[in-house]
Structure 1
């Protein structure tokens, strides 16, 4: 699970930051998912090492322009350049009407299936490897945060040990890797768990923007390996944050601390914190780290690999 930030500015792009867009690359599935799609996102994808042909799912947090103005252009280009089999789009009310209007007035035809899913709190997508759920956030329009949960995987299967035990290869190895107990032709009983290493614990990613501090963000982020959270304003501009229902750096850190996440990455910075101004984005990092030390700042095209946790070791007493 690798994250690539395609846009980290709020409201408008700057010379060094595009507006919101985050890609989640899933190499084992040869695809990537996109979270939000601000203006110019397809240009950012072209400048990255992502392949537009591998885009399969798009998750939109809310209907403000800096999160959706790049969506129609990206979808139109996908049919010409990427030739995707299908793209599923998840988002709040009005998203489907918005896309229908864009297609109608621009007379755009998609050469591939596009399915829009209206999200509601709870699980919105699940397959054999991942589950995606969402929860409402607190913003000026309906907004949702997303949680991607990778399912636990069986540990590494020890083929050499199985061969040494005289277990014939074939479908039986698959059953053993799933932890099943089997009976061999000679009557021996073998527990697959004894031939597998520790379970690979699934990773958890949470994406929260735009929102002011709220309990639902904490609940969504509980025990996440990575929380990506907006930090539009510095702590000294908290009054602006309350007026516009955005988060400060310290609010994001409080969410991470309360939810006991492993890593926090801040994004969605106001252009007011540009280099040379009285406050810069690096100052927001200092504010957040004072509350939650495991905090980093996102920047455009930065990639972050979500580490896999090691299973807890049993201690004999």
Structure 2
């Protein structure tokens, strides 16, 4: 699983930062979370192609989070995309996106399905689910968490050998959860040679929000929490008025949720250098960084 930060800024683009757009690649699938202006251009610098995107998840309808979508869809059409594109978002998504896609003068030659989600809705996909909660922002919005299914426990060949099990079909049957019977009539259960179930990976993305207990709960034990950190701590009052979050407050959420890594995004354009904000976060939660455009990180499975 890899996270590719196509754009990381908020409000409007700067020389160093495009607007927020995050691609998550899992096996052969690509999910796009938010689609700020310029997203498709950022893709040209990465391994992500518009044709590879399976689904788009929008957090809310402030322009810096979705205005890249019409151009991206036009490019998909020009590249003769045929397979369906799924778009998910908060209530109102169908009306807003359908209207937006009627403005450009082009005909898409592929199906676009639009699904509206209420806070608390879950999307079941192959080997993982996506959970949602409402954000605490100036407009209605959603935070998302990708949660993989638990994986079978680790198989221990040496334990199997000590029990007299030979490599071959019996190994497979045990790994699939079946008990086997040896030639001497002795029964071997899977838990004798297989460890406990292992967790899958979990990535949570806040969208724009004030500090929120709901997001903290959603993010519990995430491998990665991607959280907005729009302002420095000295502008907490302004952050509150704008329904945004400071780097410090985001770090407090990461600490409370016991995540492994906090990646901050969506800084205000007033900050050309983010070292001060990053240090504010690291004082609370040491494993905190601000994402940079085109940065990518791998999220590894745990044994």
TM-score (norm 2): 0.91
- How far off is 1:195 after superposition? 3.7
Aligned to 1:244: 242
Relative distance call for 1:82 and 1:232 in structure 2 (3 A) is farther
- How far off is 1:16 after superposition? 1.1
Q: Say whether the 8 Å CA contact 1:123–1:131 is kept in structure 2.
A: no
Relative distance call for 1:239 and 1:110 in structure 2 (3 A) is same
Q: Say whether the 8 Å CA contact 1:3–1:305 is kept in structure 2.
A: yes
Aligned to 1:302: 295
Q: Distance in 1 between matches of 2:208 and 2:249?
A: 12
Structure 1 range deviating more: 211-220 or 176-185: 176-185
Aligned to 2:229: 231
* SS, match of residue 107 in structure 2: coil
Q: Distance in 1 between matches of 2:188 and 2:125?
A: 30
In the alignment, which of 270, 275, 288 is matched to residue 282 of structure 1? 275
* SS, match of residue 236 in structure 2: helix
Q: Say whether the 8 Å CA contact 1:7–1:18 is kept in structure 2.
A: yes
Q: Say whether the 8 Å CA contact 1:131–1:150 is kept in structure 2.
A: yes
- How far off is 1:143 after superposition? 1.0
In the alignment, which of 95, 98, 104 is matched to residue 97 of structure 1? 95
Q: Distance in 2 between matches of 1:194 and 1:84?
A: 49
- How far off is 1:160 after superposition? 8.9
Superposed CA RMSD: 2.2
Q: Say whether the 8 Å CA contact 2:133–2:144 is kept in structure 1.
A: yes
Q: Distance in 2 between matches of 1:159 and 1:222?
A: 34
Q: What is the correspondence of 1:76-115 to structure 2 with a 5 Å cutoff? A: 76-81=74-79, 83=81, 85-115=83-113
Aligned to 1:315: none
- How far off is 1:110 after superposition? 2.3
Structure 1 range deviating more: 172-181 or 89-98: 172-181
Relative distance call for 1:73 and 1:199 in structure 2 (3 A) is same
Relative distance call for 1:12 and 1:158 in structure 2 (3 A) is same
Structure 1 range deviating more: 13-22 or 211-220: 211-220
* SS, match of residue 110 in structure 2: coil
* SS, match of residue 227 in structure 1: strand
* SS, match of residue 34 in structure 1: strand
* SS, match of residue 300 in structure 1: coil
- How far off is 1:245 after superposition? 0.3
Relative distance call for 1:83 and 1:247 in structure 2 (3 A) is same
* SS, match of residue 252 in structure 1: helix
**1:130 is the counterpart of 2:128:** yes
Structure 1 range deviating more: 139-148 or 96-105: 96-105
Structure 1 range deviating more: 255-264 or 45-54: 45-54
Relative distance call for 1:194 and 1:82 in structure 2 (3 A) is farther
Specify every segment of 5 or more residues in structure 2 that has no aligned partner in the other structure, as ranges: none
Relative distance call for 1:168 and 1:242 in structure 2 (3 A) is closer
Aligned to 2:20: 20
In the alignment, which of 53, 60, 63 is matched to residue 61 of structure 2? 63
Q: Distance in 1 between matches of 2:122 and 2:80?
A: 26
Specify every segment of 5 or more residues in structure 1 that has no aligned partner in the other structure, as ranges: 275-279, 311-317
Q: Say whether the 8 Å CA contact 2:50–2:72 is kept in structure 1.
A: no
Q: Distance in 2 between matches of 1:223 and 1:101?
A: 39
Q: Distance in 2 between matches of 1:2 and 1:200?
A: 19
Relative distance call for 1:158 and 1:68 in structure 2 (3 A) is same
Aligned to 1:5: 5
Q: Distance in 2 between matches of 1:84 and 1:183?
A: 51
Q: Distance in 2 between matches of 1:190 and 1:51?
A: 49
Aligned to 1:277: none
